[in-house]
Structure 1
């Protein structure tokens, strides 16, 4: 994932969380933020995201992504951050269905969703639609990643840094 897309996704996620992380100086943020950090990465992922999408798209049409996020063994209440990056040739991105406990924001071609209170074994689903420009041809590659925290006050940049993005390719015909 390019540096620009990573930073842009972090900015979108920060905006979802209230935007205060974008305007504070690092010293003020260190004083104001509680000492809560993201859990260390383990060998087995604690959260699993399954993405359903179309393999073939029409030029000028739209791509629909159904994302299913499951808490796989993290004990206690957890919060998840879902981030997505869409390629050039995307006209519009919209979350078309989601539960109330999910807060999403779209900025440009980046998507950030904060999933509140996902207990062990719980699953939540959201649907995202991206409209393609009429001139888009070739491969349409979208990236999604999910990570978790035990507190909603965690530093978003740390979550983004530990997040692993997975690519989903569709052919535009």
Structure 2
């Protein structure tokens, strides 16, 4: 139980850092380039995740549909901690995680979904299903964005201590998959 609580605390900090890392590329384009000696190269994670999203292409007005997100460890090492970030569609009246593994922890706040996975061994997959109910007034198309992340923690780092986590370079290159569902009459 202690491992799950400490991992959840660490991931909460990592989630906020990952969110701030998403804003960096927009500001980096306007800032002058740093000298080559001062540039810091962030290695890619040793256990990257590949996300696959299954979804309905069409839905009736005021209806509901389900996103099925599969995350697979395509690296050669087990994940230290990993998860899923999602931006759910506008025009939803209700969203709910309807299926997940017992070791996955998920939270939905407004349109944002975050899930933390237990250790994924190489080649293993975990699945999260999210059901979305639309408002009757929603027209056109709705969009969902889904991205996975994996963070490598060096040995000897206490992931329950926020000061040690701040010293780590947890900037992630999260690639979002954007999916579109068209609303029909």
Give the C-alpha shift of residue 17 in structure 1: 3.5
Please give the TM-score of this superposition, normalised by the length of structure 2.
0.66
1:169 paired with 2:180, answer yes
The one-character-per-residue Cα deviations of 1:138-169 (angstroms, maximum 9, x if unpaired) are 011100000101349367x945x521211000
Q: List gaps (5 residues or longer) in structure 1.
A: 1-15, 22-38
Structure 1 runs, 4 residues or longer, greater than 3 Å off: 16-21, 151-155
Match among 127, 138, 156 for residue 125 of structure 1:
127
8 A contact 2:90–2:143 mirrored in 1: no
Please give the TM-score of this superposition, normalised by the length of structure 1.
0.70
Match among 72, 75, 80 for residue 73 of structure 1:
75
Pair 1:20–1:147, CA change in 2 (3 A): closer
Pair 1:158–1:137, CA change in 2 (3 A): farther
Pair 1:17–1:87, CA change in 2 (3 A): same
Q: List gaps (5 residues or longer) in structure 2.
A: 1-6, 14-41, 160-164
Give the C-alpha shift of residue 102 in structure 1: 0.4
Pair 1:115–1:20, CA change in 2 (3 A): closer
Q: Distance in 1 between matches of 2:105 and 2:120?
A: 13
Partner of 2:152: 150
8 A contact 2:78–2:119 mirrored in 1: no
Let me know the Cα RMSD of the aligned residues: 2.9
How many positions carry a matched residue from both structures? 139
Q: Indicate the SS of the match to 1:167.
A: strand
Partner of 1:33: none
The one-character-per-residue Cα deviations of 1:6-45 (angstroms, maximum 9, x if unpaired) are xxxxxxxxxx944974xxxxxxxxxxxxxxxxx7337x98
Give the C-alpha shift of residue 77 in structure 1: 3.7
1:40 paired with 2:43, answer yes
Partner of 2:24: none
1:103 paired with 2:105, answer yes
**Structure with larger Rg:** 2
Partner of 1:114: 116
Q: Distance in 2 between matches of 1:77 and 1:46?
A: 8
Q: Distance in 2 between matches of 1:53 and 1:41?
A: 29
8 A contact 1:78–1:119 mirrored in 2: no
